A and B are shown apart, each in its own frame.
Chain A
Amino acid sequence: MVSLTQQPSTHPLADLIHCLESGGALLPDSPNNVLEVVGVLKSYGVVLDAYSRNLIYIAEQQFLVLFPFFKYFDGEISLQKLLRHWWHDRINYEYAEYCMKGMLWHGGGGLDTYLDSAEFSQRIEAAIQAKIGGSPMLALHKLFPDFLPEQVRQLAYYSALGQFWRVMSDMFLELSDRYDRREIRAIADVVAHIRDALVEAAALPITYAVTIKGEVYEIIPKSVGLTFLQDTAVPYVEAVFFRSFPFFGTVSYNAQAHQISDKPSDFSYGALFADPLPVGSAGIPPTLLMQDMRHYLPDYLHDLYMQGLRGEDDLRVKISISFQKSMFCVTTAAILGLMPHPLNTADPTQRQENRTYLEGWMDRLSDSRLADVQDE
């Protein structure tokens, strides 16, 4: 006899699978968790806004500038800004570039495919000729014909990540506003807000054009059909949340001793796996993001952090822990948004497909920091 009710999962993370199936999230619901997640996403939204503007600025205004000394200045160069830059009391745009390079390296999605297409080559050749025509750089381009196209591919990722973060930034700031209006009260509300925003922006076109000598060159035209969800959000989650680069300086790996997998798809060094407690000295990439966020923490979150034993001393670790919690909410939203069938479907076959889909995610998350965020 076939049972009409679904059998419980036998997956090691079955509890979480059941939780997701019944509308829960990867992060347990608690008032502190909501406060931490919303608070940290607010500061993340502010930082992402700056990252996004800068990435798009670099893609559009620093096109094939091979020595972009002032690329972090968004076109406003002043002595005051230069001194501030050197003093390092600034947004660490380097972190945004690390994420961009992670995406460039791991690829995936329609953008990756398009950047290797003949159409892309034709389009950028015109732009390259327009940019360097008549300069000695042309000889360099002839000598190394792959060099400049690869630079443009990277600039395409600058632009794509900039556009992705533009949406995410607005969404996180909107989340914060809704929290302030008391519309967000539980982790499920946070996840729903993110999921809805992702679904709403899913079909948003990703395009990239540069203006050279007054003429517009479309590097990624709308006709290519790249969209927000499948071509930036999914590759971003894959590259930055899951695989990423080994976070520099956090742990030393010996690749020759096979401590790093030969297959990039097996990499698990992303944000969901990173140890919030840095080992060794400061200044590693995740710390850069936390350093940026600490300037924009809402008061209620700062007050919560100050209740800890160490006050300001370990602020970046606390932000890192909260950030990881919030990223599990974003991951939940992404998992739910990409679900093959509606969560509440009554069809047993669809339910089973959903179950298999969720178990696939849980396999990947089994070594992540998921267990550590379940404590509270």
Chain B
Amino acid sequence: MLSTLIWAPVLGAILIAFLPQFANSERARQAALVIAIFTLGWTVFLITQFDISDAALQLQETLPWVEPLGLTYRLGVDGLSLPLVAMNSLLVAVAIYSSDPKINRPQLYYALFLLLGAAVAGAFLAQNLLLFFLFYELELIPLYLLIAIWGGAKRGYAATKFLIYTATSGILILAAFFGLTLLSGMSTFDYAALQSQVLPLGTQVILLVTLLIGFGIKIPLVPLHTWLPDAHVEASTPTSVLLAGMLLKLGTYGLLRFGLGLFPDAWRVLAPWLAAIAVVNVLYGSFVAIAQTDMKKIVAYSSVGHMGFVILASAAATPLSILAAVGQMVSHGLISALLFLLVGVVYSKTGTRDVTVLRGLLNPERGLPLIGSLMIAGVMASGGIPGMVGFVAEFVVYRSSFSVFPVQTLLCVLGTGLTAVYFLNLVNRAFFGRLPESLENLPRVYWRDRIPSVVMTILIIFLGLQPSWLFRWSEVTSTTLGALTTRPVAQLTPLAETSTVSFPEISPIPNPVFENF
């Protein structure tokens, strides 16, 4: 069942790429959309099959593949991956819908999009480390090509930088996986088997640091983030939507699944450092966003900042904070997708993203009134205004992290305030005031430009008003995952003994905690 999420888009990609009738741009788009919507519908069906009270992996599929290497085709979904898989299916459909109907080389373009969606879904579903790595690397190829072929003026530079950074990320992750398997003497890369490893804490810390850097590039953690703004600025709008909405989440998902899941003891040791990096991410991302004049860069740096919240909650590693991390991943995915979609419309209609040039776009007759209104809704959501998903996610992040890292949490709260600074600045400059003469004759905005943003806004508000729909899927899984760091350390090594890190007692959250929302 889970395989459909991977192989339906792959099959679709092959058909679109090779059948001559899809040389027509509009037909290729429609075909890709049909496959994306089918995948989305299949995801919804899988959600109905998902038992939220079961912490174990569900809907598992196993096929032996290359046994001598320890590679098996093992898929499964739990509360950690389900919301991300669902968001991936949604964003792929949204990205395809919002693609330029007259795009060049449509067969390759839509095939790559479907392939990208399939690879990301595969990475979220993979329960074998090597299989995860394969999907993780597979996703690089379409994304690299999407930036390098359909990107902006400096696309070559941005795509190459992206490739170098993320390939390095892949190598580090592979090194950590190999290290773990070799050192623990296992003959398999299966996640479940490796969870029972009993490596010395020192070794665990080294492996975890390798993973942290590997996934840290993807998230991205400051100072490994420099590929992201370049990639965003040069990527087309649909690519940016997937890049911010899904690709960054692969990093945080990997951290939680493989970092916390496989090395919970080492996680305890590194958590304070991770929380400190989260603070740097939030503050650095926010301050740099304030200094930007390109709307897309502002949104890109806000991503750097907001991914910091996920890191903070992950570092705290309590049941509630892991729930918060998943919530923040979904929230950021929806909000950043919305913001990139809106910036894309502004760019396509005005030809610029420069907030020093743009002005008065809220003009009801000649501006982009609905796009402007949705932008205000989007920045409100990003700034954590109650009633929207951003508030719910950030509130739970702070609520859960404060008990573990009070100072770091308070510093991150400052980041929410700074979000208001750079986004209000953006809205104030670009959307209020009188439309300048240079923008008095903007092309018409059609409903096809608006629909993706409207859908995202509805979801953002719906999940803001009904947060249990955001959290219910992950409660049991996060309780299990959060309990890992509170279990007694099996083997104390000198490193652990000298460690001065102390963890407060964490009581498991009452279940189900969000029923009363």
Contacts and interface: CB of A to CB of B under 8 A. Distances in A.
B440 A277 contact: yes
Contacts of A277: 363, 365-366, 434-435, 440
B46 interface: no
Nearest to A276: B365
Q: Is the interface of B mostly helix, strand, loop or mixed?
A: loop
Contacts of B433: 279
Contacts of B435: 277, 279
A314 B434 contact: no
Contacts, number: 38
Contact of A310 (B360, B362, B434, B443): B443
B510 interface: no
B363 A279 contact: yes
A299 interface: no
9 contacts: A277-B434, A277-B435, A278-B365, A280-B364, A308-B441, A309-B441, A313-B365, A314-B365, A317-B366
A308 B365 CA distance: 13
Interface in B210-225: none
A225 to B, nearest CB: 45
Contacts of B366: 277, 310, 314, 317
* Complex A-B, nearest 6 residue pairs according to Cβ-Cβ distance, in ascending order: A314-B365, A317-B365, A282-B364, A314-B366, A279-B434, A310-B444
B444 A309 contact: yes
Contacts of A309: 441-444
A278 B363 contact: yes
Interface string A275-299: 1011111100000000000000000
- What is the interface residue range for chain B against chain A? 10 to 19
A152 to B, nearest CB: 39
Interface string A300-314: 000000001111011
Contacts of B444: 309-311, 313
A281 B363 CA distance: 7
A309 B362 CA distance: 17
B79 to A, nearest CB: 44
Contacts of A281: 364
A316 interface: yes
If over half of A's interface residues share one DSSP class (helix, strand or loop), that class is named, otherwise mixed; here it is loop
Given A277-B440, A278-B363, 12 more contacts: A277-B365, A277-B366, A277-B434, A279-B434, A279-B435, A282-B365, A308-B441, A309-B441, A311-B444, A313-B365, A316-B365, A317-B365
A358 to B, nearest CB: 29
Given A311-B444, A313-B444, A275 B434 contact: yes
Contacts of B364: 278, 280-282
B420 to A, nearest CB: 22
Nearest to A275: B434
A316 B364 CA distance: 10
Nearest to B434: A279
A186 to B, nearest CB: 27
Nearest to A283: B364
Interface string A111-127: 00000000000000000
A275 to B, nearest CB: 7
A313 B443 CA distance: 10
Contacts of B441: 308-310
Nearest to A279: B434
Nearest to B366: A314
A326 to B, nearest CB: 19
A279 B442 contact: no
B440 to A, nearest CB: 7
Interface in B438-489: 440-444
Given A277-B434, A277-B435, A279-B433, A310 B363 contact: no
Contacts of A310: 366, 441-444
B434 to A, nearest CB: 5
B315 to A, nearest CB: 45
Contacts of A282: 364-365
Contacts of B360: 279
Nearest to B433: A279
Nearest to A311: B444
B446 to A, nearest CB: 10
Interface in B306-324: none
A249 to B, nearest CB: 11
A170 to B, nearest CB: 31
A316 B365 CA distance: 8
A306 to B, nearest CB: 11
A272 B441 CA distance: 22
Interface in A297-342: 308-311, 313-314, 316-317
